[in-house]
Chains A and B, each alone.
Chain A
Amino acid sequence: MNQASQEQTALSAPHILEYDYRRSLGPVLSRFFTGLRAGKIHGIKTQSGRVLVPPAEYDPETGEATTDEFVEVGPGGVVETWAWVESPRASHPLSQPFAFALIKLDGADTALLHAVDAGEASQMETGMRVTPRWAEESQGSIKDLSHFVPEAEGNADAPHPPAEATTDIVTPVHVEYTYSPGKAASRYLHGLKEGKIVGQASDSSGLVYVPPRGACPRDGVPTSREVEVSSKGTVVTLTIVRVPSENIKVELPYCTANILLDGADQSFTGLLQECNLDEVRIGMRVEAVWRDPSEWDYSSENIKHFRPIDEPDVPFEEIKEYC
């Protein structure tokens, strides 16, 4: 259910985008991440002899391939610059106040970005020496190197070497949004909440949009006038879906149809049910089947699906231009 504010016309609701991306590493980053599991940090030499950490397949200054000469660097290094995060975000590598720092590891010519756990900001200083702490359990990511600490706290024992090389990493992406569909769509959704399909007419041509998206795209003008349209319509074209889709929870196979409601000038995709899939066809007359009014929300899901009605088919010539 969408949490919508009833006071305002414009609706909004949380929207979360999340996916665990699996990234193959290629030979150079694979060596780096495999090393981290064993408590070793590898850089790579460029053709000009500079040592890049993290290692790359290329020299960023020229684009030329790097050599195949890996160099173990650190484990200690020097803080080149730092930023003190007094109030860490949930996504940050440490939950207590910490520093992000660029750390030039011993033997490297570039600095590595990572977190430093120094207790408080007064313990941080540019030029200070730091040493790594390793994750107790390997995740196979940059976080296998958990963070750095001031070198005075002593070097950590390296974790056990892994049995196999790390060839890919999983990077979860989780982004939270407050999605708002806009004024025109909100007006439409308010109608749906009351069991009505209220399209909007273009300010220029008067053509009726269902659902409205904010503009009449032909002319780039608003769709200001509300026009209630029928729950009945015509199938202008269709497909029968027999392949699963991650975001669609309908039992396979199912029919989705481009439906032109009576009184509208644009078709939209609807689910066609309560019929034999052998019988669905272009020109077929259908009607919306609504959920129980107690379940109505600001959502196109208030319409459970469409079903055929006992009316003669519309000839193709009459609906051709909506297909």
Chain B
Amino acid sequence: MRDVAIVSYAQTQFVRSERDQNEVEMLMPVIKEAVDNSGIPKQEIGFTCSGSTDYLSGQSFAFVMAVDAVGAWPPINESHVEMDGAWALYEAWIKIQCGEADSAMVFSFGRSSMGETAETLTLQLDPYTLAPLNADAISLAALQARAGLDAGKWTERDMAEVAARCRAQAKSNPDAQVTGDFDVDKLLTDPYLVSPLRKHDCPPVSDGAAVMIIAAEGAAHKATNKPVWIRSLEHRLDSHQPGGRDLTTSPSTKLAGKAAGVHKTAVDFAELHTPFSHQEIIVREALGLGKDTLVNPSGGPLAANPLMVAGLARLGESARRIWGGHGSRAIAHATSGPCLQQNLVCVLEGE
């Protein structure tokens, strides 16, 4: 295995609605920032991979247009996954492992605000027996939350505490969208949105883009004196049918975490892609993170949740925190699909 490091990362500010700029216009400045900060000339970046989904913008081939932002001339070695950018990173990491490239650019983008996210995501469900019922993303998460409440795994107060803590932590993140100090007792008096979820248990709708540059050992050291090493990168999948699995656990996170060696040494913090408050509790358990582990110092998806970007942003925010000197070892996690169906786990380490 080759040692691969994150050498730079840039993201847009995450906002409720980016109406002025299209995807290409959002991406151009962040690509430039990430490339400029990487120490690797753009023409030397060996591979490019993006993650996005056509249904956010309501047209086929949204990712094809995004290539305009890269400046793909002369032609580049490039690929695209119809997945969160975290899996684009996985494909790029594999390319480097094959020796086909020494560095790679990974990016993802999403303007969820163009549609109605909860409705759009119903199109992600089994088209025969689930999608026609239009069980939106919030309702599905609510089924999961209730299952855990009934099982005594968490309480509504536990959930509100996660939400309040994440948004308080987000105050120091200039790119976050929902930040501030919230009183848990007061949050618990709010009406339910979809019971047992209240508004604070749910992520905001966010638009944004993120760009990461990674490089293999030699290239990474040449480019920067602050590489953040990807010590392990693993992902696994659970069944899609919500009625066919125990929603209060995340076996795929557990498997990925075990393969990634998350238990081997302590970490300073974790960035978890848990859009709903109770999901942080599930993923913490799956990764064996105790109450004393700092989770989502960036605020996490409860503070900003740009679809297709939020997973990659967990790795990026982790790297930024390590660069900022606030820790040297972290776990970053990304998810995809209803009720935490697919999960990726990464162990990151500064020098």
Is any CB of A less than 8 Å from a CB of B in the complex?
yes
In angstroms, Cα B255 to Cα A248, docked, is 50
Q: Which residue of A lies closest to B131 (CB)?
A: A171
Task: Give the contacting residue for B127; candidates A23, A52, A222; CB below 8 A.
Answer: A23
Q: A80 at the A/B interface (Cβ < 8 Å)?
A: yes
Kindly identify, within residues 97 to 136 of chain B, every residue whose CB is under 8 Å from any CB belonging to chain A.
Answer: 113-116, 118-120, 122-123, 127-136
**What residue in chain B is nearest A185 (Cβ atoms)?**
B22
A213/B123 contact (C-beta < 8 A), A81-B143, A171-B131, A182-B25 known: no
Q: Are the C-beta atoms of B65 and A10 separated by less than 8 Å? A: no
Query: Residues of B contacting A102 with CB < 8 Å?
Result: 143, 242-243
Of the stretches A67-75, A82-90, A235-243, A266-274, the one at the interface is A82-90
B247 interface residue per 8 A CB criterion: yes
Question: Which residues of chain B are near A85, meaning CB under 8 Å?
Answer: 139, 194
Could you mark each residue 11-53 of chain A with 1 if its beta carbon is under 8 Å from any beta carbon of chain B, else 0?
A: 0100101000101010001001000000000000000000011
Is A227 an interface residue when CB atoms closer than 8 A count as contact? no
Which B residues are in CB contact (< 8 Å) with A141?
132
Q: Which residue of A is nearest B136, CB measured?
A: A89
Other-chain contact of A175, B28, B119, B129, B242 (Cβ < 8 Å): B119
The residue in B118, B133, B194, B197 that gathers the most chain A C-beta atoms within 10 A of its C-beta is B133
Contact check, A142 vs B132: say whether CB atoms are below 8 A apart: yes
CA distance A182 to B113 in the complex (A): 14
How many residues of B are counted as interface, with CB atoms below 8 angstroms from the partner's CB atoms? 63
Q: Check: A9 CB closer than 8 A to any chain B CB.
A: yes
With a cutoff of 8 Å between Cβ atoms, the chain B residues found around residue A173 in the complex are 123
Which residues of chain B come closer than 8 Å to A185, judged between CB atoms? 22
Task: Indicate which residue in A60, A101, A115 contacts B241 across the interface (CB closer than 8 Å).
Answer: A60
Separation of A221 and B42 alpha carbons in the complex (Å): 13
A-B contact count (CB 8 A): 190
Interface: A193 (CB within 8 A): no
**Beyond A60-B241, A80-B147, A213-B24, is A177–B57 a contact (Cβ under 8 Å)?**
yes
Interface size range on A against B = 35 or more
Residues of A close to B140: CB separation below 8 A: 83, 100
9 extra interface residue pairs, beta carbon distance < 8 Å, beyond A54-B241, A111-B242: A93-B133, A111-B244, A112-B243, A121-B195, A175-B115, A182-B22, A216-B71, A217-B68, A218-B73
Which residues of chain B have a CB within 8 Å of any CB of chain A? Answer: 19-25, 28, 31-32, 55, 57-59, 65, 67-73, 113-116, 118-120, 122-123, 127-136, 139-140, 142-147, 150, 191-192, 194-197, 239-244, 247
Residues of chain A touching chain B, judged by Cβ–Cβ distance below 8 Å, are 8-10, 12, 15, 17, 21, 23, 25, 29, 32, 52-54, 60-61, 80-86, 89, 91-93, 100-104, 110-115, 121, 126, 141-143, 169, 171, 173, 175-185, 213-222
Of all A-B residue pairs in the complex, the 9 with the closest CB atoms, nearest first, are A220-B71, A182-B22, A111-B243, A83-B142, A84-B195, A214-B24, A217-B68, A91-B134, A10-B20
